A and B are shown apart, each in its own frame.
Chain A
């Protein structure tokens, strides 16, 4: 409201000084166009939200809050609980982040700071191309390469040496939480890397030179100056990757095992919110089953929004703690 008032005042001022009437009309048109588009996005979002709530109403009424805490998913008995799916989505995304963030940081830093000059451009483009590969391709690769590899080479030694921890217990079957996490990590690494690369490229050269001139090594310069300078943007890239991991459907469905259970082991099969919707939506026969699936979509929606809000707050805090870090 206030911003709108200010805009109006400014426009009045322009009209008085600049005589160009067509320019003014163009401005008017553009203003209304952008205003319309901005509102349309909000309207669309509200509409989706509304539809989802309406469609999940039967499930909401029947299961209430229990839906969030129940681990039962039985379409035959018509008893539904979302916890295993929430767990699967959050856990696989977390595994993905744990694997992808250090890797992305390292790759982006290498591309911007250390790689030979002739390699930087082409390698940067290659990273962006990786981000454009369709997820079903990653999924196929996961089934034919990653899962057998995990089953035969990665999981057995881990079970043998660290099997006393619940995290590494159980039979090595390949498909499961770890496979989903790894596939997601591989999928989001290019995105996060591309964003971090852009962020590092915007760090002014004089910042690096200032540190080098103090007798810092390249590594010290990266650690103490370059990465801190870009930290808000880096965080943004991580959030973008997390968003993609949370919503990813195809590749996860192909390797996570699709069993609605909560196991502490990384090697156990699990299920994600997006996967169960994709797998069961077309086959759901009872109205309550359908409604429960829509409610899972609603939860996924809310979880994503919640994480985005948290991320905004985090970025805001980081950039506020250091005025100028993002503005410059």
Chain B
């Protein structure tokens, strides 16, 4: 794992300590929609270079939580955030921090596939590169690399210049994963990335996650506890906007410390 001493420091201010690239710390994070509080003070360390799973019943705030990590929550009208999210020790909510810069470093894959319908497959993957000013050759390379990583290349290599809407739902989701990978973020947030996929593509994506954690900090929301057990180094259990338990995945699933966690993973509610 590379540390933060690199020649061109990423644009989030200067730093005093040494942090691993892509390490996140969440402190007292609260979020609301139109006055209704959804997240009620979450504090946790998300380690760099590992997969962190977020599990919990539907509506508990998992999506809201990851959307706070790249400052996307605030684009919803009436949505509020308070607390701190530290990327490599720097608060991304500090005054003067540009959310655009934050989002360039913290990418996201959404719960439902959302390719751009007016763009071709190629243009979809290249969309983020275009706004980051990549030249044509580097873009072409990055598009192929990302599509390969997202296990989609073989299926689309002959129709890169056709509309992305011609893809199946699962292919569209992998396209969105490729699109997020292409800009080479340091952190990748994935909100139930495999909920639209068949078992084979799911397996490919899970393999991808395991492979990617060498290079990215991954936060994966999932409904599927087997999936969390398979891919995640650490797992967080969210309930009603509170972080009930957070620890190494094996521990959380085999000997949960909290009663509610135990109830949830044994299927007594949720």
A120: nearest residue on chain B (CB-CB)? B77
Q: How large is the interface on B (under 10, 10 to 19, 20 to 34, 35 or more residues)?
A: 20 to 34
Distance A56 CA – B38 CA, assembled complex (angstroms): 71
Q: Which residues of B contact A325 (CB under 8 A)?
A: 117-118, 165
Counting CB contacts under 8 A, is B253 at the interface? Answer: no
Given A224-B127, A324-B163, verify A215-B116 contact (CB < 8 Å). no
A12-B165 Cα distance, complex, nearest whole Å: 36
Which of the four size classes fits the interface of chain A? 20 to 34
Q: Are B100 and A216 in contact (CB under 8 A)?
A: yes
Q: Is the CB of B101 within 8 A of A212?
A: no
B40 within 8 A of A: no
Give a binary string over B96-140; 1 marks a CB under 8 Å from any A CB, 0 the rest.
000011011101101010111111000000011011100000000
Bound CA–CA A69/B133 (angstroms):
53
Is B28 part of the binding interface, using a Cβ–Cβ cutoff of 8 Å? no
The reply on A27 being an interface residue by CB < 8 A is: no
* B50 interface residue per 8 A CB criterion: no
Which residues of A203-221 are within 8 A (CB) of B?
A: 204-217, 220
Q: Is the CB of B130 within 8 A of A209?
A: no
A228 within 8 A of B: yes
Kindly identify which residue among A217, A220, A231 contacts B118, using a CB–CB cutoff of 8 Å. A231
A206 to B75, CA, bound (A): 11
Contact between A217 and B131, CB atoms less than 8 A apart: yes
| B164: min CB distance to chain A, Å | 9
Q: Which of the residues B78, B114, B131, B176 comes within 8 Å of A215, measured between beta carbons?
A: B131
Identify whether the interface residues of B are mostly helix, strand, loop, or mixed: mixed
Chain B positions 181 through 207: 1 when the CB is less than 8 Å from some CB of chain A, otherwise 0 = 001000000000000000000000000
Shortest Cβ gap from A201 to chain B (Å): 12
Q: Are B100 and A215 in contact (CB under 8 A)?
A: yes
A211 close to B116 (CB less than 8 A): yes
Task: Output the residue of B115, B116, B128, B130 with the most chain A CB within 10 A.
Answer: B116
Question: In the complex, which of the residues B131, B132, B165 contacts A323, with contact meaning CB atoms closer than 8 Å?
Answer: B165
Q: Tell me whether A209 and B116 are in contact (CB under 8 A).
A: no
List of A residues within 8 angstroms of B103 by Cβ: 212-215
Contacts of A215 in B (CB 8 A): 100-101, 103-105, 128, 131-132, 183
Question: What distance in Å separates the Cβ of B109 from its nearest Cβ neighbour in chain A?
Answer: 8
Residue contact A324 to B128, C-beta cutoff 8 Å: no
Measured CA separation A207–B118 after assembly (Å): 11
B234 within 8 A of A: no
Chain A nearest CB, measured from B119 CB (Å): 8
With an 8 A cutoff between CB atoms, is A144 at the interface? Answer: no
Q: Any chain A CB within 8 A of the CB of B70?
A: yes
Q: Which of A284-328 contact B (CB under 8 A)?
A: 322-325, 328
What's the least CB distance linking B35 to chain A, in Å? 14
How many residue pairs, one in A and one in B, have C-beta atoms under 8 Å apart?
86
Q: Please indicate the chain B residues that have their CB under 8 angstroms from the CB of A65 in the complex.
A: none
Q: Once bound together, how far apart are the Cα atoms of A217 and B104, in whole Å?
A: 10
**Residues on the B chain within 8 Å of A205, using CB:** 76
Contact A208 B75 (CB under 8 A): yes
Cβ-closest chain B residue relative to A220: B131
Return the CB mask of A52-84 against B: 1 if under 8 Å, else 0.
000000000000000000000000000000000
A225 at the interface (CB under 8 A from B): yes
Q: Which of B166-182 contact A (CB under 8 A)?
A: 166, 176, 179-180
In whole angstroms, how far apart are the Cα atoms of A325 and B165 in the complex?
A: 9
Whether, in the assembled complex, B72 has its beta carbon less than 8 Å from a beta carbon of chain A, the answer is yes
Q: Is A229 an interface residue (CB 8 A)?
A: yes
Say yes or no: A214 contacts B183, CB within 8 Å: yes
| A117 interface contact, C-beta 8 A | yes
Residues of A within 8 A of B115 (CB): 210
A217-B100, A228-B118, A328-B117 known; A210+B110 contact, CB < 8 A: yes
Tell me which residues from 227 to 254 in chain A have a Cβ below 8 Å from any Cβ of chain B: 228-229, 231
Q: Which of these, B101, B107, B165, contacts A214 with CB under 8 Å?
A: B107
Find chain A residues with CB under 8 A from B108 CB. Answer: 213
Inside 8 A of B128's CB, which chain A residues have their CB? Answer: 214-216
B131:A214 contact, CB within 8 angstroms? yes
Closest 9 pairs between A and B when the two form their complex, measured CB to CB: A215-B104, A214-B128, A324-B165, A228-B118, A213-B108, A324-B117, A206-B114, A216-B131, A215-B103
Other 10 A-B pairs with CB < 8 A, given A213-B180, A323-B163: A204-B114, A210-B116, A210-B179, A211-B127, A215-B132, A215-B183, A220-B131, A225-B118, A228-B116, A231-B118
Chain B positions near chain A (C-beta within 8 angstroms): 70, 72, 75-78, 100-101, 103-105, 107-108, 110, 112, 114-119, 127-128, 130-132, 163, 165-166, 176, 179-180, 183
In the assembled complex, 28 residue pairs joining A and B whose CB atoms fall closer than 8 Å, in A order, are A117-B77, A117-B78, A206-B112, A210-B110, A210-B176, A212-B100, A213-B72, A213-B103, A213-B180, A214-B131, A214-B183, A215-B101, A215-B128, A215-B183, A216-B128, A216-B131, A217-B100, A217-B131, A224-B116, A224-B127, A224-B130, A228-B118, A229-B117, A322-B163, A322-B165, A323-B117, A324-B165, A325-B118
